[in-house]
């Protein structure tokens, strides 16, 4: 069972989109133009899945909200 309060959790594009109230395509675009932090790929292929550090995303949200 995943603890949703775990700051070390890894999030998918869809989870980040839901958290930020954005469309997943917007999250992909923001990853490509480096305007959303905490993104990394699982693997070395260009189409490897993108994941995010929940800790980095939450810190970024707090910073942007202040």
pTM, rounded to two decimals = 0.83
pLDDT score for 20: 95
Please spell the DSSP secondary structure of 3-54, one letter per residue. Answer: -TT-TT-EEEHHHHHHHHT--HHHHHHHHHTT-S-SEEESSSSTTPPEEEEH
Lowest mean pLDDT among 4-8, 10-14, 20-24, 60-64: 4-8
Give the confidence band of 4 by pLDDT, cuts at 50, 70, 90: low
State how far the Cα of 54 lies from the Cα of 47, in Å rounded to an integer.
21
The residue ranking higher by pLDDT, 36 or 5, is 36
The residue ranking higher by pLDDT, 42 or 8, is 42
| Order of strands, sheet of 50-53, starting from the edge strand that comes earlier in the sequence | 10-12, 50-53, 39-41
pLDDT score for 11: 97
């Amino acid at each position: 069972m995943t603890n949703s309060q775990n700051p070390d959790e890894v999030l998918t594009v869809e989870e980040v989109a839901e958290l930020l109230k954005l469309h997943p395509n917007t999250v992909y675009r923001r990853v490509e133009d480096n305007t959303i932090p905490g993104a990394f790929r699982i693997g070395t292929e260009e189409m490897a899945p993108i994941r995010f550090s929940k800790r980095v995303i939450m810190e970024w949200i707090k910073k942007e909200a202040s």
